[in-house]
Structure 1
């Protein structure tokens, strides 16, 4: 299972890491500035001594703990062991003896080279030994204890910052959670209601945009449903007139036989009328609201498939198509009978209509229906033809409308489209 990133956790972790990095960085910077300030102060004292002290070769002098000499050879032995002879004017050199990284320095050594106003060389050094420190500065505190208190102070500061950050995020996240819950609860009934106040202006603006977008989409869907309903209702009357007149012409033709061309034309009109009748039934069903859907009732799939196959046989006239039915006669399912009838009609119609020569296999196993039509010619897959998106070439509008009905009922639907073979599987369970 893929863990999706959380904006709240990302922001919280980023702020904690950033604050910790800043605290540690500024701590090191403060220590560095503090030590640098001490070094500059000490260097200033050593410069003053180099300018005022009168020193001769071989006779270094000691002044307030500092050694001043005119030659490097006259410096104390400890200084000469730890430093090389300085050549750059005013550059302070220092060394520290310490047992560990976190412990205080035990001994400190400083050395610097200056030239006085007369151009004479002066070497100034200072040695600070642990044994020379005042006794009141010597404590029994161990380095690890000092490190513990420093770490405890830092952790406490970070914990306080994290706590206040958590409180701020909680205050900000609460309206965001409310916005998410409100957006998830939107439906046709409460979409017209004014959005609640989400505290912050940006969230209120976002809520208004969400509501406006959903209202626009809802209005579009309503207009589409009204159009489908009106168009389907209005089409039923002329379609009924066409079919009635076709039946009348068929009866009249029994008394006064029509020519072959007239009979062929009449059959085309009859087939077109049946197709339009099925299509309007599908559109009318799709234009219904969910509350208007039919209640489930028993349906014998085997009888339904056999009846529809017989009724749609006119689509195979003058075609070299072999139809094979394989059904279970004793299988009855409980489902929406109207929707099931529309789906099976459209699927069988498409299989018959778009197979010019070959075989159509219709099998039923329980609630599962499989329709396979194999063409004698290896036509290109329907999905790849540009005309299949528009008219009846390929598996057209009826199949697309059937897919919508299937999705609305949550039935299992599979399509396998290959050159010369098209397979549709529907499970009405």
Structure 2
């Protein structure tokens, strides 16, 4: 299962890492500035001594712990071992001995070169040994103790920062979660109401954008539904006129027989009228709201399939198509929405009949499961596709697409197996 990233966790971890890096960085920077300040102060003291002390060759002087010499040869041996004779004036050279990276230096050595006002050379040095820096009373503080205090101080600072960060995140996250809950609860009823106040201006702006987008989509859907409803209602009248006149012509043809071409034309008009009538009923049904749909009731699938197969048999006139209907009468009655079931079965059977020019149509019913398979044996594929039931006419394709929408709305199982010369549709109305 894919773990989705959390914005809250990402922000929290990022701020923790940033604060930790800043704390560590500023700690090292503070130590560096502190050490650099001490070195500059020491350098200033050594410069002052070099300007005031009277020193002769071979007679170095010691003042407040500093050794002042006029020649490099007069500098203490410990200094000469660790440093090369300095030639640049005022550049403090330092050497230290440490047992560990975070421990205090044990011994420190300093040397600097100056010239007095008379232009004479002065070498000022200082040696700070550990035993000379130890306090007279008490035990010296161990480096590990110092590290523990530093770590404890750092952990305390990070804990305080984490606490305040958590409080800030809680104050920010609560309005965001409120916005999420409000957006999830939106429906046609509360969408017309103004969004609540989410404390922050950015969240209020986002809520307004969400509401305006949903209102626009809702208005578009209503316009589409109204158009489908109006168009379907308006089409009912001309379709009824066409079908009634076709029926009238059929009765008149009993007295004055029509020619073969006239009879064929009349049959085509009758088939088109029936198809348009079924599509109109489908559009009308889809244009209704979900709360206007009929409640589930008992439907005999075996009886309905047999009836529809006989009613749509006119689509197989002048075709070499065998129809096999296999139903299970013992488990034929199911509890489902009757109108939707009728529309789906009508469109699927019509598509199978319409798009099979030569071959076989097999309809099987097992409980709530209906399987429609049409196999085409026609070798000429100039007027059909390689799939027998696959729509090749835009009118019947619309009927099949509308059926899929109805199936999706009711959550029924719908499977399509498309193979060359064979098209299988499976619908489970449970």
Q: Is TM more than 0.5 here?
A: yes
Alignment of 1:270-419 (within 5 A): 270-331=270-331, 332-375=333-376, 376-377=378-379, 391-392=394-395, 396-419=397-420
State the match for 1:426 in structure 2.
427
For residues 415 and 325 of structure 1, the distance between their equivalents in structure 2, rounded to whole angstroms, comes to: 19
Partner-residue secondary structure (3-state), 1:424: strand
Q: CA deviation at 1:145?
A: 2.0
Q: CA deviation at 1:101?
A: 2.5
Residue 89 to residue 416, structure 1, CA distance change in 2 (3 Å): farther
Residue 368 to residue 120, structure 1, CA distance change in 2 (3 Å): farther
For residues 219 and 334 of structure 1, the distance between their equivalents in structure 2, rounded to whole angstroms, comes to: 34
Output one character per residue of 1:149-196: Cα deviation in whole Å (capped at 9) or x when no partner: 222222212211221121122112211111111111111121111211
For residues 352 and 118 of structure 1, the distance between their equivalents in structure 2, rounded to whole angstroms, comes to: 121
Alignment of 1:60-71 (within 5 A): 60-71=60-71
Count of aligned pairs = 423
Q: Does the CA contact (< 8 Å) of 2:179 and 2:207 recur in 1?
A: yes
Q: CA deviation at 1:29?
A: 0.5
Output one character per residue of 1:269-320: Cα deviation in whole Å (capped at 9) or x when no partner: 1001110111011111112222221121222222222221222121122233
State the match for 1:8 in structure 2.
8
Q: Does the CA contact (< 8 Å) of 2:134 and 2:140 recur in 1?
A: no
For residues 219 and 28 of structure 2, the distance between their equivalents in structure 1, rounded to whole angstroms, comes to: 63
State the match for 1:113 in structure 2.
113
Q: Higher mean Cα deviation, 245-254 or 91-100?
A: 91-100
State the match for 1:187 in structure 2.
187
Alignment of 1:16-415 (within 5 A): 16-116=16-116, 120-133=120-133, 135=135, 139-331=139-331, 332-375=333-376, 376-377=378-379, 391-392=394-395, 396-415=397-416
For residues 120 and 402 of structure 1, the distance between their equivalents in structure 2, rounded to whole angstroms, comes to: 108
Partner-residue secondary structure (3-state), 1:355: coil
CA RMSD of aligned residues (A): 2.4
For residues 412 and 129 of structure 2, the distance between their equivalents in structure 1, rounded to whole angstroms, comes to: 90
**With structure 1 as the length reference, what TM-score do the two structures score?**
0.91
Residue 141 to residue 133, structure 1, CA distance change in 2 (3 Å): closer
For residues 134 and 279 of structure 1, the distance between their equivalents in structure 2, rounded to whole angstroms, comes to: 102
For residues 219 and 137 of structure 1, the distance between their equivalents in structure 2, rounded to whole angstroms, comes to: 88
Q: Higher mean Cα deviation, 398-407 or 47-56?
A: 47-56
For residues 229 and 130 of structure 2, the distance between their equivalents in structure 1, rounded to whole angstroms, comes to: 100
For residues 137 and 370 of structure 1, the distance between their equivalents in structure 2, rounded to whole angstroms, comes to: 100
Output one character per residue of 1:300-356: Cα deviation in whole Å (capped at 9) or x when no partner: 222222221222121122233333333322222111111111001111111221223
Q: CA deviation at 1:10?
A: 1.2
Q: Higher mean Cα deviation, 114-123 or 90-99?
A: 114-123
Q: CA deviation at 1:136?
A: 5.5
Q: CA deviation at 1:257?
A: 0.4
Q: Higher mean Cα deviation, 28-37 or 9-18?
A: 9-18
